[in-house]
Chains A and B, each alone.
Chain A
Amino acid sequence: MFKILRDLLRYNVEFLIGFVLTAGIFLFALAHFFAPYPDTAIYLLPPDMPPSPEYWLGTTSRGQDVLWQMSSAIWNTMTFGLTVTVLSRLLAVTVGMVSGYLGGKWDEALMTVNDTLIALPNIPILLLVYFVMRDQMNWPVLALTAALLGWNHDARLIRSVVLSLRHREFTRHAVFAGMSVPQILIRQHLPYVMPVVFFTAMNNLIWAIGLEVTLSVLGFSDINRPTIGGMIYWANQHQAIIAGIWWWIAFPIIAIVILFLGLFLLAISVNEYIDPRSRLSRMGG
């Protein structure tokens, strides 16, 4: 594992840049554990201070330090995004592989559910959940709901990969080598599905973070918990742009763009590394 990391860092520029960007953002988010102020406290500091040696990224109209708010916000947003991604990947892989390999009735039933979910509009569903849950609404519930909405396109993609693998000779060979269905799916097909999972995970993470930002900006989430969307929500509430408090909005957006860029570069370079076919083609087989 360490050796792979070292090889990637040394020989793959995309990975190096992606690693530095993502690691930087991650370390920054990690720093919120050492924040001098609790992240939900307000009016602790003089409001609307521009960036200065004392408050590096300035303070908000609510008397919070933008630097430490952002640190917590990124942490929370990343936690949300990763939770959605992991949950939805598990769903997509399970449904896609079972549906593609077993075919027949299983495929029909699972794909009916899948296509129904594709047809449902995401934002209204999430708003509906928010209105039903009201005060009980917290981020794990939101993450679960988002995960349930975010797997279906990728399940179809994975199903098509497995569908083509099912007719490959090595699958028939595996059957005659006495391998069971879970063995075939996990040992034989999963390595082919993993690049799809990695790549869709990237898209899904961006989608989930975007969804969180959208909902928070509109105020349809737990607004007291600092998130990137939540920061923009409060900045909007205080008309930060009109008031000229640009640092309240600019820095969260810069942070999220760097995070997206870093994750994207990581995804493409890791994908290339784990896919031995592209590696072999580079070696000229």
Chain B
Amino acid sequence: MLAATIDAPTRTRPVLEVENLKAYYQMNYFGVSREVRAVDDVTLTINRNEIYGIAGESSSGKSTLIKTIAGAITPPLRVVSGSVKFDFGGSQLDVYARPKAMKAARWRHLSYIMQGSMNVLNPVRKVRHAFDDFAFRHMGLSPAQFRSRVEGHLKRLGLDPRVLESYPHQLSGGMRQRLTIALATVCEPEFIIADEPTTALDVLVQQDVLALIKDVQQRLGSSVVFVTHDMTVHAAIADRIGIVYAGRLVEEGPTDDAFARPQHPYTAHLISSLPRLGDVSRRKALPGKPPNLSDPPSGCRFHPRCPLAIDRCKVENPPLVSRATGRVACWRAGEVEVA
């Protein structure tokens, strides 16, 4: 298995290093130029065998961030500066310096679990074909070997191999989503990107899917980047979380610390506004609205909505600085009161 081929020193290296990544949508249309700074100077590392949660609201740039990490960018999105480097089993891979090598690594080393299972599974073809299309050429196995490998993988995930002969519409939404997870993990990749995989699912199914992702991750020892706006999902599954606001990483740290002692007022708000069963005390809503990325506020982008904002926040962008357990970008970090 793959784990055996990795020698000890490389195991300690982070699987992904993103440095000063800037990715903008640049458009010029009918004389109107627009630049949307969807990813603005993001630096982060993701270690082996961890689940890294990326939290952020719609149009915060979190989807663009993972697109950029996966090297799946198309115009008008452009990487302006910075680097994305993977380390798969000791071999370095710079996504934007050598795009061809990246292509070969897809699905074998890096795979995706997407939100809409129907977008992955072709509705008019049997599920088996999806496995053939996505995974077969990456595995280097004979058709018979491949088939038994797929069936074995499904069994390990608690899925009946007979589903391979079904059409997607014959399966429930939860089953389809579990199949996309099986599909993404059949090559035993070191790095998995999960983009809102539970958002469209019913609550009961959502938990099963989360449990399955956690299961697979622990079995394979892979790293998972888990993107969702739902903070409770992060609480359940992420080892570390990064909070994205308006294209910037504003806070990052171990999940327990981020929930117990949020340093950034935005994080604090996200956590304290969550309703919980058995508690009817009034929860405060954040004033204002998420900023428009083509015309973001000056200084700290959160300052117009921030209860702690001071004059400095309006002019100076706070850098992401290391704290005891994580990093935070706020001039008044740690001063926030948690309800």
Nearest neighbor of B59 in chain A, beta-carbon distance: A285
B31 and A282 contacting across the interface, CB-CB below 8 Å: no
B30 and A284 contacting across the interface, CB-CB below 8 Å: no
**Bound complex: CA A284 to CA B64 (Å):** 11
B31 and A10 contacting across the interface, CB-CB below 8 Å: yes
For window 13-39 of B, CB contacts with A under 8 Å fall at 25, 27, 29-32, 34, 36, 38
B307 within 8 A of A: no
- Residues of B near A284 (CB, < 8 A) are 25, 27, 34, 36, 38, 76-77
A279 within 8 A of B: yes
Chain A 273-285, CB within 8 Å of chain B: the 1/0 string? 1000001001111
- Residues of A near B32 (CB, < 8 A) are 283
Q: Assuming A282-B76, A284-B25, A284-B76, is B30 touching A7 (CB within 8 A)?
A: yes
Nearest neighbor of B77 in chain A, beta-carbon distance: A284
B34 and A283 contacting across the interface, CB-CB below 8 Å: yes
Sort chain A's interface into a size bin: 10 to 19
- Residues of B near A11 (CB, < 8 A) are 29-31
- Residues of A near B30 (CB, < 8 A) are 7-8, 10-12, 273, 279
Interface centre among B29, B30, B31 (most CB of A within 10 A): B30
**Bound complex: CA A190 to CA B76 (Å):** 30
Identify A283's interface contact among B29, B31, B59, B77, CB under 8 A.
B29
A7 and B27 contacting across the interface, CB-CB below 8 Å: no
Interface centre among A10, A11, A282 (most CB of B within 10 A): A282
Q: Assuming A284-B36, A284-B76, is B29 touching A279 (CB within 8 A)?
A: yes
A7 and B31 contacting across the interface, CB-CB below 8 Å: yes
**Bound complex: CA A279 to CA B31 (Å):** 12
For window 24-73 of B, CB contacts with A under 8 Å fall at 25, 27, 29-32, 34, 36, 38, 59
Nearest neighbor of A4 in chain B, beta-carbon distance: B30
Min CB–CB distance B36 → chain A (angstroms): 5
Min CB–CB distance B337 → chain A (angstroms): 36
- Residues of A near B31 (CB, < 8 A) are 7, 10-11
**Bound complex: CA A8 to CA B31 (Å):** 9
- Residues of B near A282 (CB, < 8 A) are 27, 29, 76
**Bound complex: CA A116 to CA B21 (Å):** 62
Interface centre among A7, A12, A283, A285 (most CB of B within 10 A): A283
Nearest neighbor of B25 in chain A, beta-carbon distance: A284
Interface centre among A10, A11, A12 (most CB of B within 10 A): A11
Identify B27's interface contact among A10, A12, A273, A283, CB under 8 A.
A283
**Bound complex: CA A285 to CA B59 (Å):** 9
Can you list 23 contacts pairing A with B, beta carbon distance less than 8 Å?
Answer: A7-B30, A8-B30, A10-B30, A10-B31, A11-B29, A11-B30, A11-B31, A12-B30, A273-B30, A279-B29, A282-B29, A282-B76, A283-B27, A283-B29, A283-B32, A283-B34, A284-B25, A284-B27, A284-B34, A284-B36, A284-B76, A284-B77, A285-B59
Chain B: residues with CB nearer than 8 A to chain A? 25, 27, 29-32, 34, 36, 38, 59, 76-77
Q: Which 8 A-B pairs have the closest CB atoms?
A: A284-B25, A11-B30, A7-B30, A282-B29, A284-B36, A283-B27, A11-B31, A283-B34
